[in-house]
Structure 1
Amino acid sequence: MKLTRYALTLAAAAALAGCGSTVKLDEPAPVKDISTTTAPAGSTSQGKTEPVGASQVATVDLFSELSQQVKDKRVIYFDFDSDVVKEEYRGLVDLHARRLKASKQAALNLEGHTDERGGREYNLALGQRRAEAVAKSLTLLGAGTGQVEAVSFGKERPAVQGGTEEAWAKNRRVELKDK
């Protein structure tokens, strides 16, 4: 028993000794001076910088650029009885989140929809969960909570009429509409 306790104490001391640092914290890190080095072949710059004229600088309106990218991409489809955003739509959600981050005045209504199967109350709740899932994804990616509003229409506003799987799949969606 005494030997085991002694061995454990010795092992702990050895482990702590191995954690010791030999780096001197007060010593500055070495810095390589590259101002005297030669430029790579084909380079004409010799360490000189010149200002760029205002006419040569193009301003980019990120909000307008992102708005153009999402112009026709405003619907996220869901699996049957699911409120999980599919992997294939994560990039689209990210694009919309970046657009909202670029302009704090921009805002979206997220309209949740379901297919015609199931009761009215259940479908209203499912549509709301779908819209809230998209809203949560947008806010996690940087959109403000005041920029998104989730509402549900359940099965009341189908995109496609019909009792086929194809029609039902088109109706299980969240539409992202500008406020």
Structure 2
Amino acid sequence: MKQEKLARYIAFVLRCSGAATLATILANCLGMPHAMWASMSAIIVSQERLNETRNATLWRLAGTLIGIAVSVATSGVSRVFAINLVTQMAFGVAICAAIARRFPLVRVCMWTVPIVYLSKPGEGALLDTALWRCTEVIMGGSVGATFHWVAEFVINRLNRSAAVDAMLVTPDSRLSCGNVSQGETHLTDRYGETK
């Protein structure tokens, strides 16, 4: 068990670092304007357990989509009434805070609104910015979740292999290998009977 704990510790460090790095590289290769959001998403979704990572990934995506929808809606309505950017953002965060108060797992929606508004280039379209942020979050979260899935797969395979080795080698086990140094390849039970 001690070895598995160490393996999980090392795997967590490597998968967080690897996911952040790969997400940044992919975002840059795909020409995403703010690769940092892909990298951050890859790290944010990385949790201790695989099911926690899956849930974090799904809720982060849901919250991001809510924040983007609210940003685009408040921007559209605010343009009609010529409301300034700070007020638009305040309305958007207020709407998202009301949603997050009811559904706490989508709290990311609250900070998605300012991220979308404040990362919009000059007079660029808010919808374009929102779509880029969504793409960055989806890609980063997917990379983080994939790294975790691969790490779990490897750790489980190593654990199974170690369990099989322990069963075949220990004198307590029901079966043990023959004398491998002398080329014997048969299995014997604990009483020495060949199987």
Structures share a fold, TM > 0.5? Answer: no
In the superposition, the TM-score normalised over structure 1's length comes to 0.28
Bigger Rg, structure 1 or 2: 1
Kindly indicate which of the two structures has a greater share of residues assigned to helix. 2
In the superposition, the TM-score normalised over structure 2's length comes to 0.26
Kindly indicate which of the two structures has a greater share of residues assigned to strand. 1
